[in-house]
Amino acid sequence: MADLTVNFPAWVHVREVGLRDGLQIEKPITTAAKERLLDAVVATGVRRVEATAFVSPRAVPSMADAEEVAALLPRWPGVRFSALVASPGGARRAVAAGITDLEYVVSASDGHSRANVKIGTDEATEKIAEVAATVHDVGGRVEVIVATAWDCPFDGPTPTERVLRIVERAVELGADELAIADTIGTATPVRVQRLIGAVRERVGPVELGAHFHNTRGAGLACAVAAVGAGVVRLDASTGGLGGCPFAPGASGNIATEELVYLLHDMGVETGIDLGLAIDAAAVAQDVVGHRVPSNLLRAGDRKRSG
């Protein structure tokens, strides 16, 4: 019988993105509800949380209270909170609100870039320098997330070379970290390993994360493939909430509790308590007011009795 084991790392860092990516396509909820959800996700033991986004409130109404959310964050010392921005102006807002750990998104496809930020990929890429300068001036860090890295809902398959040009230029312009995102959930494990390998070859030891959506049911398989390719930071969203408002058909992220369940069973530590992660998914379901995609929330851990 074939040996299907792989030399996985001892530890994978999970960043909780439910407060931002998870809520950005939902109807706006109150800041108090977000505080309740933050309490639940921090209680799980997660130590990186993307708390909000400093973007246009007209384009993304659910993120209109970014400054109010930022004001809550000192309640949870020891957690590395970050925010997503889509422009240098957003970076300045975030820094003014006290968040200096930022993610800046560049879409690898022009079609999605124009739908998302009204400019093409090349122009969005060059703005990394201004975002990085704003963050570095206050001692912060900036991660560049390459969206639509595998496929675009407008332009189709994304050529690998486009992704490689972006990551290479991002490092030149001051990115401290990189992440590759499957914005519309079309990636498959082999494609993930090929692209991660190519990115690694192009940029070397720069810290690299990955972000998967479960639109076509392959999100967790892609996450395992990324870990097998050397990625040790993955994004996930409590309850499997999420999706991109500027990418037709995109649905939720991989669920935090499902990712933790899978990694722990593979012998990979995350520092997250699975039972509390399932509890947080239940809170997420309650605050958004509808059923969330998580299978684990419905089925529970296999250790459950009754």
Cα–Cα distances (Å) from 288 to 33, 71, 119, 188, 291, in that order, read: 9, 22, 32, 29, 8
- Residue 198 has a CB neighbour count (10 Å cut-off) of 15
Q: Is 166 exposed, middle or buried (0-12, 13-18, 19+ CB in 10 A)?
A: buried
Of residues 251, 188, 177, 214, the one with CA closest to residue 13:
177
What pLDDT is recorded for position 301?
86
Are residues 228 and 265 in contact, defined by beta-carbon separation less than 8 angstroms?
Answer: no
Structural domains of the chain in order of their starting residue, each with its CATH number: 13-299 (3.20.20.70)
User: Around Cβ 299, how many Cβ atoms within 10 Å?
Assistant: 12
- Residues annotated as catalytic (active site), given as ranges: 244
Does residue 130 sit in helix, strand or coil? Answer: helix
**How do 48-54 and 80-85 pair as beta strands?**
parallel
Helix (H) or strand (E) segment spanning residue 251: none
pLDDT at 306: 44
Rounded CA-CA distance 85/196 in Å is 24
Residue with tokens 């408002």: 245
The pLDDT assigned to 37 comes to 98
pLDDT of residue 211: 98
pLDDT score recorded for residue 1: 45
**Contact criterion met (CB below 8 Å) for 52 and 90:** no
Q: For the chain, which ranges sit under pLDDT 50?
A: 1, 305-306
